[in-house]
Copies of this chain bind each other. A is one copy, B any other.
Amino acid sequence: MGKIKTVRLLDIATKAGVSVSAVSKTMNGSDEIPEATREKILSIAREMDYHPNFSARSLRLGRSRIIGVIIPNNDFSYNHVLSGISKALEETDYTPIFISTKDDPKYEKSAIKKLLSIPVDGILSVPVSMDSYKNVFVPVVFMSRYPYRNPRTGEPVRTNDNYVVTDDYEGQRIATTELIKECGGNVYIFLGSENTRTVAGIKEHIRLSGYKKALEEHDIPFDEGHVYWNTTSLEKACENTQMLLKHVEKSFGLMVANDYFSIGVISTLQKNGYSIPDDVKIIGFDDLEMASYISPSLTTIHCARYRLGSCATQHLVSIIQSKNTGEAIQTIFQPKFVKRSSM
């Protein structure tokens, strides 16, 4: 496999009998070059299958037309967000490069360094720790997770970062309200990471405050024992369910951290002879495609994840291109209650 010589501007220029800059200008759509020369150059370029060298251009321009996308993991929770990003970028000349952090600040820091050394023109991130972004000097738009509310009180927080999130607080409040209508105060909740030092944990606490808010609105006292933390895998979801069953009456309402984990919860409940929704009412979170296909079909909170990705992308591109003045762009999507048969 002999090394194939790549086609350069110079090669085209030589063949066309013009200078490199004429070719460069043509390639970049400058109108300085007369139509005839233009045509000739373009046709030769096509014929030689020319592709500009990204590195050379990036080096020269100080920008790369690459967008860094930081996600916690490759697990399927962010697929729709990623699709939204890809779709939105298709109409631009930006290309995404994805890096995963395993929800670990160390990986996140190194991911950021890698991206900046490319250098990417901007970053879309589902963050692990806000600290990692202290010295990032390219535009960043946070997605899906962000301390947009005070995790204790649920009050909106004013910040100066760009973000696009779903209002998890409201989602949880609405879901809890629905369950209260059915089960009174007998409403349990499975949440993810309890660690408030991570953005993921803060998100869970924001959700908890939405839950508390709903209780408060119905004059139901909050019971710490109704909250099961660290539902962070299918397996944990099943364990938490087993644990819950030791402490609970036959009939109750349960909010699960997300739709995926609901599969484990439902399976565990059914194995233990509970019937859904007769004994237990269940509400998930996300509205995955499969939610309407499992049995019983899953009542859930719909989050616009695809739109979340495309919206964040549009924001980022507009910030990059307009050299935005520092006015933060913040979008909060309102979630929607979707009733199916698990409640």
Contact = CB atoms under 8 A, between A and B. Distances in A.
Interface of A: 1, 3-4, 6, 49, 51-56, 58-59, 64, 73-76, 79-80, 82-83, 86, 95-100, 113-114, 116-119, 135, 137, 234, 238, 260, 263-264, 266-267, 270-271, 289-290, 293-295, 297, 326
A54 B263 contact: no
Contacts of A326: 1
A126 B80 CA distance: 20
Contacts of A263: 290, 293-294
A114 B52 CA distance: 9
Nearest to A57: B55
Contacts of A260: 290
23 contacts: A1-B326, A3-B137, A6-B119, A51-B116, A51-B117, A52-B117, A53-B59, A54-B119, A55-B58, A55-B59, A55-B64, A55-B118, A55-B119, A74-B86, A75-B79, A76-B79, A97-B97, A98-B98, A238-B293, A263-B290, A267-B294, A267-B297, A294-B294
Please list the 4 inter-chain residue pairs (A to B) with the smallest Cβ-Cβ separation, ordered nearest first. A76-B76, A55-B58, A55-B59, A97-B97
Contacts of A51: 113, 116-117
Nearest to A268: B293
Contacts of A98: 96-98
Nearest to A4: B137
Contact of A74 (B82, B267, B294): B82
Given A1-B326, A58-B55, A95 B114 contact: yes
Contact of A264 (B55, B82, B116, B293): B293
Contacts of A80: 74
A290 B234 contact: yes
A116 B234 CA distance: 40
A100 B86 contact: yes
A234 B234 CA distance: 21
**In this complex, which of A52, A97, A116 has the most chain B Cβ atoms within 10 angstroms of its Cβ?**
A97
Contacts of A297: 267
Contacts of A58: 54-55
Nearest to A267: B293
Given A58-B55, A137-B4, A270 B290 contact: no
A274 to B, nearest CB: 12
A262 to B, nearest CB: 10
A102 to B, nearest CB: 9
A65 to B, nearest CB: 10
A149 to B, nearest CB: 26
A190 to B, nearest CB: 15
B234 A289 contact: yes
Nearest to A120: B54
Contacts of A99: 95-96
Nearest to A86: B100
**In this complex, which of A118, A234, A238, A297 has the most chain B Cβ atoms within 10 angstroms of its Cβ?**
A118
A53 B1 contact: no
A270 B100 CA distance: 39
A182 B285 CA distance: 39
Contacts of A290: 234, 260, 263
A76 to B, nearest CB: 3
